[in-house]
Structure 1
Amino acid sequence: MSDPKAHMTIPAPGKGLDIAREYWTEWGRSWLASRYADLLSNIGVGLFSGSDVLCADDALSRDHGWGPRFDVFRVDEDGISNESLQSEMRNAAPAEWSGVRNRFQFTPSIQVHTACEYFGSFFTNHRLPESLDDWVCCRNALANLESHLHYIRHGAVFYDPKGILGDIQAKLRNYPEDIWFLRMAQLCYDVAHYGEYNFCWRLAKRKDPIASEIAIGNFQHAVMALAIVMDHDYAPYWKWIHHVFQSCAIAGQLDAYLFEVSTTIEYERRATLVTSICKTLMKELVKRDIVPEDLDDGSGLPLFFQAQAYLTSRIGDSAIKALMR
């Protein structure tokens, strides 16, 4: 078993995930092998939260939930309870690794879970979805659920000999098609509501500074989330959405617009930028055959409201379709 003290003087790598992976590989795995060897073949180990999982961490990320940490996932609690195993591991764990101290006062560095219970807890009915009905109950929490789904899909897996974590990641890799249409319809509504309609048609003309900032922030979030979701991915927590958005296929066409609309205070210029963002995003939806080229029905409604209606019409399941506001 590795001597934890031998690593305390090594300069910390630039990213927390490097430290976390090493913490498991060189200490956690060795400790389990010496105490509960039979568990090693029946667990998965990784991380599914935190900026480090998204490789978005920096020096400011290190005040909590960063560095020497990992989560253990089990099929069941056979042999020893999760609570007992977690307590033993925390008590035995070195307080410092690679020059970084654990931050127990914020996020425990080692957590032990039953896999299906942990990942199922993000859903309203507290279980992993088996059918569309299991998604229906999440209708009011879909935006919050989506960030967890992003972390599940992109989580860092350190050890998974039986595929406990890999199977769950595969199961939740994408929205079912009807939920995908629903989520895009919701985001099209937000693009229209905060951008095309309320900002361009009302707030920019009223020159209302506070409402304008609220509208622009929600509009930008909806645009980036829609870009991510139409790539068949999940949009993460708002603080990291731009970090993830930059990897989207359409990011190169939109990022300069999004940056300028954040930094200019001139209302007419902002309205022009919002319109340009909407036109660019709509062209991409048409290019991908998500909405038709002749979408405009001549009603005069903002196009993204019309896109919302069209995408809702593409939902096959009546219960899912009824979820659209």
Structure 2
Amino acid sequence: MSGALPAGIPLSRDYYESVVAPLLARHAPGLEHAAARLGSGSDVLGYDDAQSRDHDWGLRLTLLVEEGHAQEIDTLLAQELPPRFRGLPTRFATTWDPVVRQRVEVCSAAEFATSRLGLDPGSGLTLVDWLSLTGQAVLEVTAGEVFHDRPQALTALRERLEWYPHDVWLYAIAADWHRLGQELPDVGRAGLRGDEDGSAVIAARHVRTLLHLAHLLHRRWPPYGKWLARSAAALPGGDVVRLAVHEVLRARDWRSREAALADAIELLAAMQGAYGLPTLEPATEAFFDRPHVGLRGMPDLLAEQITDPAVRELPAGKGTAEQISDNVTVLVDAAARRRLVEH
């Protein structure tokens, strides 16, 4: 049976159109609502496969209704949903909730946004709000397919989260370049000292930063680590970026690793220029008189373009919450993310 099942998004659409929507039409006619597959799960990004079905996968749906109607609709679905659909149970436990119950998440648009982002963007976002967001949190609101949105509440929410304000975008890009520049020469320094393992570890850190930077340059929210490389490969020009970072990861010695890393940096620097942002050509240079590669003044070049006084006052190179920390426990905690960027 499992082999015949569609991916999660088509399954959720079928569930809504065949089961949930008819129930609403019969018991709550005229109810304004949005229906979509949002929130957690690889299927929201379209990355689910057969293995995804071993937990938290199945007949899941997000139903956004007006304030005050959520409990009523949740109770209705709990009572009226059939036991199974397409051979799958409509009621099941999850890793975050051991109770066997129906998994149509019913809430208002503001409640849903707050549950994922740690804030409600309905009244606008402050600078701290923008800095506290992670790409994954935003994708849990904006990436999944929308099946119905009669009041356009979900559409409006997604429009507010489309991308960073321009100066915050510049600041975030500069922060990734700053991080690259800080440890770029260390790839060669560790290797020259005979520490090929250390050189490879530092280079791998740079690859992750480059993949994050590629998303920023393309104005695409980056997902969390499991899907970062796959998502980057799907960006415009992503195949070239993918090949460039593979050369870094496959390098067997520090000299070839350093050269491949420099090539990847030049590629992204050229991409930055293609998007109309200031860049340097070349972006790399000799690190003083040592036989290592350093980064030219890319962070300062971008910082000079920032005009918003509040953004200009931010600490150079600190960046957004997900640039400051890659600790999952911190990044899934909205309050912890805010603490990172407030101080």
TM-score above 0.5:
yes
Task: Tell me by how many angstroms 1:44 deviates.
Answer: 0.5
Alignment CA distance shift 1:246-1:296 (3 Å): closer
Q: Deviations over 1:247-283 (max 9, x none)?
A: 2123122211222333444333222211111121112
Q: 1:166-210, CA deviations, whole angstroms, 9 ceiling, x for partnerless residues?
A: 11112221211111111111222233335x23323x333345466
The equivalent of 1:53 in structure 2 is: 44
Cα distance change of structure 1 residues 288 and 61 upon mapping to structure 2, 3 Å threshold: same
Supply the distance in 2 between the matched residues of 1:170 and 1:23 (Cα, whole angstroms): 26
CA contact (8 A) 1:257 1:273 kept: yes
2:254 matched to 1:267? Answer: yes
The equivalent residue for 1:192 is: 181
Structure 1 counterpart of 2:21: 29
The residue number in structure 1 matching 2:110 is 116
Cα distance change on mapping 1:211 and 1:135 into 2, 3 Å: farther
Q: Deviations over 1:50-69 (max 9, x none)?
A: 21122111111112232311
Distance 1:167 1:243, change over 3 A: same
In structure 2, C-alpha distance between the alignment counterparts of 1:198 and 1:37, rounded to whole Å: 64
Aligned length: 305
TM-score (normalised: structure 1): 0.81
1:128 and 2:121 are equivalent in the alignment:
yes
- Code of the aligned partner of 1:34: R
- Cα distance, 1:72 vs structure 2: 0.7
Residue 299 (structure 2) aligns with: 308
Alignment partner, residue 71 of structure 1: 62
Which one-letter code corresponds to 2:74 in the other structure? Q
CA contact (8 A) 2:196 2:253 kept: no
Residue of structure 2 equivalent to 1:291: 278
2:334 maps to none
Amino acid across the alignment from 1:257:
A
Alignment of 1:169-188 (within 5 A): 169-188=158-177
| Cα root mean square deviation, aligned | 2.9
**Whole-angstrom CA distance in 2 between matches of 1:43 and 1:154:** 18
The aligned runs of 1:220-299 (5 Å cut-off) are: 220-293=207-280
Q: Provide the secondary structure at the position in 2 that maps to 1:38.
A: coil
Amino acid at match of 1:223: L
Matched, 1:320 2:314: no
CA distance in 2, matches of 1:207, 1:101: 57
Which amino acid in 2 is paired with 1:276?
D
Q: Structure 1 CA distance, aligned partners of 2:139 and 2:173?
A: 16
Query: Could you tell me which residue of structure 2 aligns to residue 4 of structure 1?
Result: none
Tell me the amino acid that sits aligned with residue 97 of structure 1. F
Deviation at 1:46, TM superposition (A): 0.6
Using the TM superposition, name which of 56-65 and 262-271 deviates more.
262-271
**1:277–1:129: structure 2 CA closer, same or farther, 3 Å change rule?**
farther
3-state SS of 2:221 partner: coil
User: CA, structure 1 residues 250+32, in 2 after alignment: closer, same or farther (shift >3 Å)?
Assistant: same
Amino acid at match of 1:199: V
Partner of 2:235, secondary structure, is: coil
- For residue 291 of structure 1, report the CA deviation from its aligned partner: 1.9
Cα–Cα, structure 1 residues 36 and 292, in superposed 2: closer, same or farther, change >3 Å?
Answer: same
Contact kept in structure 1, 2:36 and 2:145, CA below 8 Å: yes
Compute the displacement of 1:297 (Å): 11
Unaligned runs of 5+ in 2: 97-101, 319-343
Counterpart residue number, 2:12: 20
After superposing the two structures, state which structure 1 stretch, 102-111 or 175-184, moved more: 102-111
- Aligned identity (percent) is 20
From 193, 203, 207, the counterpart of 2:190: 203
Contact 1:10 1:99 in 2 (8 A): no
| Inter-partner Cα distance in structure 2 for 1:90 and 1:263 | 52
Instruction: Work out the CA distance in 1 between the residues paired with 2:242 and 2:308.
Output: 35
The Cα shift of 1:84 comes to 4.6
The SS at the match of 2:121 is: coil
The code of the aligned residue for 1:260 comes to E
Q: Does the CA-based 8 Å contact 1:12-1:19 persist in structure 2?
A: no
Distance in 1 of aligned mates of 2:283 and 2:246: 28
In structure 2, relative to structure 1, the CA distance for the partners of 1:138 and 1:10 (3 Å cut) is closer
User: 1:115: how far off?
Assistant: 0.4
- Take 1:183 and 1:94, find their aligned partners in 2: how far apart are those partners? 48
Larger deviation, residues 114-123 vs 294-303: 294-303
Match of 1:96 among 63, 84, 88: 84
Query: Structure 2 counterpart of 1:248, which letter?
Result: L
| Structure 1 residues without counterparts, runs of 5 or longer | 1-8
